[in-house]
Amino acid sequence: MIRLGLLITKRYRLLSVAAILDVFESANIFHEQQNKSPFFEITLFSSDDQPGEFNDLYTIQPIRNAVQQNLILIPAFGPGDLQVSIAKNQVCIPWLKEQYANGAEIASFCTGAFLLAMAGLLNGKEATTHIDAALTFASNFPEVIMKSDAVVTDDKGIYTSGGATSSFHLMLYLIQRYCGKEVTLRTAKMFAIDMDREQQTYFGTFTPLQNHGDGLVNMAQQKIETAYQEGRTIEELIQDIPASRRNVVRRFKQAIGLTPIEYLQKTRIEAAKKLLEQTDQSVLEVMLNSGYNDLKSFRQLFKKSTGVTPKEYRDKFNISRIDGMRNNRMSKRMPQNI
């Protein structure tokens, strides 16, 4: 059997741990139903010195007692400061490095990639994480090749997934690797997972850092956020900032991880996304109200940023349209009065 170790980190996200256990236990059950041995010997580990319990169903073993694993899974961290989460799990890093050096493969889900990166195990490798944490990840770990739009990455025995439901795609990827296509398809059907998702970009929300401590950059951010609709260039928007353009660009990049023009583009695209989600404005109106004046250029920039066209984005996320389609389907199912 494959020794699968699930690391119960400090400040883990409960949904992530529960999903991992459910999916991999299901893969075992599918095999047992064919009168075969389970694929995975699942063991839970933590950095605590004494054994514990998880949900009254599993015993949690100290990592100091762990034998060599074949596959180690790191769940997503829960809400809160990721730096605090990483600090609370520093003690796990030597164990992860030793296990990997001795042949274990390691997979992280969503923001669990931050712990792998802190261990140095992602240096020079491709990785992904939750789309909204990708900018923070890239600025903190420049030696990692961040693929923010990727749903799953696989690089030299290290696997990462994008955010939330993208974790299921990594689980399927691992099940196919270890168990084969038949079990993978059965698992996908049981959990209603679409297997053809290729990117997660359109799930992102631009939430720029504000508490970086640079007042000049805060001033530039405010000017961009209050005047992005006016269609002015970035030079025009920041011309009143009491510093040279070169200095503003340098400090902006240092504080936020973006140049001012990148910040302006992301602000405008985020505004366009909200208009597509919440209004019935035409694509032309959305373009004008988010600060653009060339429809072809807007469509190209929007698709580059989100991975889909403005129309495709509206079809996927416009609340009124989704409600209308749902109500229409429900009305068709209801019996008609005779």
Clarify whether residues 185 and 275 are in a common domain: no
Residue 210 in any domain: the answer is no
Look-up of token digits 């009254």: 56
Residue 46 in any domain: the answer is yes
Clarify whether residues 50 and 190 are in a common domain: yes
| Tokens of residue 122, six digits | 């992602």
- Close Cβ partners of 130 (under 8 Å, ≥ 6 residues apart): 76, 110, 111, 162, 163, 164
Side-chain half-sphere CA neighbours of 249 within 13 A: 8
pLDDT score at 35: 85
Clarify whether residues 121 and 235 are in a common domain: no
- Residue after which a domain boundary falls, among 203, 225, 253: 203
- Residue after which a domain boundary falls, among 203, 223, 242: 203
Clarify whether residues 124 and 268 are in a common domain: no
- Residue after which a domain boundary falls, among 137, 170, 203: 203
Residue 143 in any domain: the answer is yes
Clarify whether residues 190 and 75 are in a common domain: yes
pLDDT score at 338: 47
pLDDT score at 207: 84
The CATH code of the domain that includes 183 is 3.40.50.880
Quote the CA–CA distance of 57 and 50 in Å, as a whole number: 17
Domain of residue 174 covers: 2-203
Quote the CA–CA distance of 314 and 276 in Å, as a whole number: 5
How many domains, in total, are found in the chain? Answer: 2
Clarify whether residues 64 and 114 are in a common domain: yes
Clarify whether residues 118 and 145 are in a common domain: yes
> Coil, strand or helix: which one is 48?
coil
pLDDT tens for each residue of 274-295? 999 989 999 999 999 999 999 9
pLDDT tens for each residue of 239-248? 889 989 899 9
Four-residue CA torsion sign, 62, 68, 74, 75: negative
Clarify whether residues 249 and 150 are in a common domain: no
Clarify whether residues 84 and 138 are in a common domain: yes
Q: Which stretches within 46-165 are classed as H helix?
A: 82-88, 93-101, 113-118, 134-140
pLDDT score at 49: 87
DSSP character at residue 168? H
Clarify whether residues 131 and 102 are in a common domain: yes
Virtual torsion, Cα 288, 292, 298, 303, nearest 10 deg: -90
Tell me the C-alpha to C-alpha distance, in Å, between residue 248 and each of 29, 141, 237: 59, 23, 12
Q: 9, 75 in Cβ contact below 8 A?
A: yes
pLDDT score at 76: 97
Q: 121, 155 in Cβ contact below 8 A?
A: no
Residue 330 in any domain: the answer is no
What is the pTM (predicted TM-score) of this model? 0.75
| Tokens of residue 55, six digits | 């949900």
Quote the CA–CA distance of 19 and 11 in Å, as a whole number: 16
Per-residue pLDDT of the chain (338 residues; tens, 9 = 90+): 999 999 999 999 999 999 999 999 999 999 898 888 999 999 999 999 888 988 888 999 999 999 999 999 999 999 989 999 999 999 999 999 999 999 999 999 999 999 999 999 999 999 999 999 998 999 999 999 999 989 999 999 999 999 988 899 999 999 999 999 889 988 988 998 877 666 777 677 888 888 899 999 999 999 999 999 988 899 999 888 998 989 999 999 999 889 999 999 999 999 999 999 989 999 999 999 999 999 999 999 999 998 899 999 998 888 777 666 556 655 555 555 54
Residue 328 in any domain: the answer is no
Clarify whether residues 272 and 163 are in a common domain: no
The CATH code of the domain that includes 228 is 1.10.10.60
Residue 326 in any domain: the answer is no
Clarify whether residues 291 and 153 are in a common domain: no
